[in-house]
Structure 1
Amino acid sequence: MKKTNAIGLNETDALQLSNGLNDLLANYQIFYMNTRGYHWNIKGEKFFELHLKFEELYNNALLKVDEIAERILTLGYNPVHSYSEYIKMAAIQERVNVSDGVQAVGYIVESFKTLISKERELLQLSAEANDEGTNALMSDYIREQEKLVWMYSAFLARK
C-alpha cells in the first residue's frame, strides 16, 4: 500500500508536485524581479500606461509566489527561498536595465509562455495525483495568463 501525506496524497506524487512547484516558484521569482525592473526603468511614449501595467504584473506575481510556496508547504515540503537557487533553477532569464517598453512586453509574453507551459505540466501531474488544490491553482493561473498573453500580444501587434 502506498504511503500518503497529511492531506491524503501519495507521498511520491506529493514530492513530484512539490519539485514542480519549486521550479515554478523559481520562475515566478525571476519574473517578479524582471517586471519590477521594467516598472522602474521604463521610458518613452507609453511610460504612464506601461508603468502601471508592470506594477499590476509584479503585484500579481508576488501573490502567486506566496500561494505557490504555501502550496509546497501544504504538500509537506519546503519552498526554495534563495535567489541563488532561483537563478540556477529558472528557465526565465534575468533581464537587466530594460527601458524600452516594446522589448519589456516581448519579454513578458515570452515569460508567460514559459510559466503557462510549466503550469500545464503541473495541471496534468496534479490531475493524475488527484491533487485538487494544486490543480485548481494551476487552472486559475493558466486561464488568467492566457488572457494576458492575448492582451500583451495585441499591444505588440502579434498574431
Structure 2
Amino acid sequence: MTKIDIGINEESRIQIAEGLKRVLADSYTLYLQTHNFHWNVTGPQFRELHLMFEEHYTELATAVDDIAERIRTLGVAAPGTYKEFARLSSIKEVDGVPEAGEMVDILTKGHEQVVKSCREVMKIAAEADDEGSTDVLTGRMSVHEKTAWMLRAMRQ
C-alpha cells in the first residue's frame, strides 16, 4: 500500500485508530447483547421490546461497518474476532438471560458506555484535526444518546 497522506501524521492516525478500535469493540459487544436480548426477551412487553431490539441491532450492524472502515481509512487493521473485541470492550458480556426490565437497564448502560468511549476518542481526533473521525464519532454519540434516553424512558 502506498503512503497515507491525508494531513494527519502517522502517530495521530494510529492513536485515533486505537481509540476507534475500542469504540468498535464496545459497539460490537452491544450489538451481540441486543441481538441476544431480541431472541430471548419474554414478558408483557415482549412484542414492543422484541421489535425495538431488532431496530437497535440492525442499526448497530451498519455502525460497526462504518467504524471499521474508518479505522482502515486511517491505515490500521480493524479488529474482527470475539477474542479481540472482548479484550478491547468496556462493555462486559452478560451470562444467562436476564428478565426484560434488566435487559433494558443493561442496554441503557451499554449505549451510555459507547457515548463515553466516543467522547474519549473525540478529544484525540479533534486535536489532530481529524474531522472524518469526529464526524463518525459525533454521529454515533447522537444515536447512542437518543437510544439510551428511549430505553430509560421505558423504565419510568
Q: Is the 8 A contact 1:43 1:99 kept in 2?
A: no
Q: Which residue identity does 1:21 align to in structure 2?
A: L
Distance in 1 of aligned mates of 2:94 and 2:53: 14
Partner residue in 1 for 2:79? 80
Query: 1:107 Cα deviation (Å)?
Result: 0.4
Distance in 1 of aligned mates of 2:16 and 2:29: 20
TM alignment of 1:135-146, pairs within 5 A? 135-146=134-145
Q: Is the 8 A contact 1:41 1:97 kept in 2?
A: no
Q: Which residue identity does 1:141 align to in structure 2?
A: R
Q: Which residue identity does 2:138 align to in structure 1?
A: S
TM alignment of 1:83-102, pairs within 5 A? 83-102=82-101
Structure 1 residues 28-52: Cα deviation after superposition (integer angstroms, max 9, x where no partner): 1111111110000000100000000
Q: Is the 8 A contact 1:27 1:91 kept in 2?
A: yes
Query: 1:135 Cα deviation (Å)?
Result: 0.5
Alignment RMSD: 1.3
Q: Which residue identity does 1:57 align to in structure 2?
A: H
* Residue 13, structure 1, aligned to residue 16, structure 2: no
Q: Is the 8 A contact 1:34 1:96 kept in 2?
A: no
TM-score, structure 1 normalization = 0.92
Q: Is the 8 A contact 1:27 1:92 kept in 2?
A: yes
Q: Mark the runs of 5 or more structure 1 residues left unpaired by the alignment.
A: none
Structure 1 residues 103-153: Cα deviation after superposition (integer angstroms, max 9, x where no partner): 111001111121000101111111111011110111111122212221111
Query: 1:98 Cα deviation (Å)?
Result: 2.2
TM-score, structure 2 normalization = 0.94
**Structure with higher RCO (Cα < 8 A, 6+ apart):** 2
Distance in 2 of aligned mates of 1:73 and 1:88: 20
Partner residue in 1 for 2:127? 128
Structure 1 residues 77-104: Cα deviation after superposition (integer angstroms, max 9, x where no partner): 1001110111122110112332521111
Where does structure 1 differ by over 2 angstroms across 4 or more consecutive aligned residues?
96-99
Distance in 2 of aligned mates of 1:76 and 1:112: 27
Partner residue in 1 for 2:146? 147
